[in-house]
Amino acid sequence: MCDSCGCGQPSDAVTFRKPGEMEHHHHDHTHDHDHGSGRTIDIKQDVLQQNNMLAQRNRGWFEAKNILALNLVSSPGSGKTTLLVRTITHLKTDIPISVIEGDQQTLTDANRIAATGAEVVQVNTGHGCHLDAEMVRKALQKLAPAENSIVMVENVGNLVCPALFDLGEASKVVIISVTEGDDKPLKYPTMFAASDLCIINKIDLLPYVDFDVDKCEKAAVQVNPELEFLRVSATTGEGMDQWYDWLRARRV
């Protein structure tokens, strides 16, 4: 966990909004506000341990409602929102999908999702660079997803911290785009180790960039031999049918 970027920020800096709602802050002080210098490692372990307990509670909640929850993680701009918009539009009549959008600021992505007709709650984390299980729990109260549906959580764009925070999801899905470089699995192994599926996006741009898909997949398998791969273009739709099949197969 990174201390320098505001991971341990107080929870009253986090906001939850549906498109069209005014920004408001809640004042639920459940976090440890001790920023003393001598106990950094203990505090990190406490934060992660507390998060894991809340994540298990979320997991039980999802299971009770037979909801498939997926945590989409990537660096900024890899195409998470584009992938979600296309997926929701395609599966609209087939599977109900609602979304929790994580970003530091703005309702931009929530508005893109809302335009599809799907229910969405935007979590603005302020300085925070990841979502945690408590934020997801509160967002779920507002979202009220239907039983037997899919909840997609678009995490804050960051290949580091979101890897450490279990949200109660069934799986993390890591998205990497071909403009980012095929060495990312080796540079950010924790994220690839924590994920069940790796979506390689923007394959329509392969003719224009120096990105070796096989090399990228081999590097990712080194850190996670169980990792599955899909090669897609969220803008042209190439490869997206395999993603829809993967989603259908993961629903019980």
d(CA 170, CA 161): 18
| Residue 69 β-bridge partners | 151
Residue 149 beta carbon to ligand GDP: minimum distance, rounded to whole angstroms: 21
d(CA 251, CA 179): 31
- Site residues for Mg ion, 94-153, by CB under 5 A, read 109
Smaller CB separation from ligand GDP, 111 or 222: 111
Run of H or E residues at 164: none
- Site residues for ligand GDP, 58-77, by CB under 6 A, read 74, 76-77
Tokens standing for 37?
A: 């210098």
Residue 200 beta carbon to ligand GDP: minimum distance, rounded to whole angstroms: 10
* Sole binder of ligand GDP in the list 47, 73, 79, 131 (CB under 6 A): 79
d(CA 23, CA 233): 34
77 binds, among Mg ion, ligand GDP, none (CB under 5 to 8 A by kind): ligand GDP
Smaller CB separation from Mg ion, 54 or 85: 85
Residue 47 beta carbon to ligand GDP: minimum distance, rounded to whole angstroms: 26
Smaller CB separation from ligand GDP, 67 or 156: 156
Helix 80-91 and helix 240-250, axial crossing angle in degrees, nearest 10? 70
| Residue 154 β-bridge partners | 72, 101
Smaller CB separation from Mg ion, 80 or 138: 80
The answer to whether residue 48 forms part of the interface with ligand GDP (CB under 6 A) is: no
Closest-by-Cβ residue to ligand GDP is 79
* Sole binder of ligand GDP in the list 234, 240, 243, 247 (CB under 6 A): 234
Residue 102 beta carbon to ligand GDP: minimum distance, rounded to whole angstroms: 10
* Sole binder of ligand GDP in the list 104, 171, 190, 235 (CB under 6 A): 235
d(CA 170, CA 189): 20
E strands, the chain, are: 15-17, 68-74, 97-103, 120-124, 150-154, 171-177, 197-201, 228-231
The answer to whether residue 155 forms part of the interface with ligand GDP (CB under 6 A) is: no
Integer angstrom CA distances of residue 86 from 24, 79, 142, 237: 30, 11, 24, 8
The answer to whether residue 201 forms part of the interface with ligand GDP (CB under 6 A) is: yes
The answer to whether residue 81 forms part of the interface with Mg ion (CB under 5 A) is: yes
> Per-residue x/- marks for ligand GDP, 110-149, CB under 6 A?
----------------------------------------
Residue 34 beta carbon to Mg ion: minimum distance, rounded to whole angstroms: 33
Integer angstrom CA distances of residue 251 from 2, 64, 244: 34, 14, 11
Burial class (CB in 10 A: 0-12, 13-18, 19+), 152: buried
Q: Which residues are at the interface with ligand GDP (CB under 6 A)?
A: 74, 76-82, 157, 201-202, 204-205, 233-235
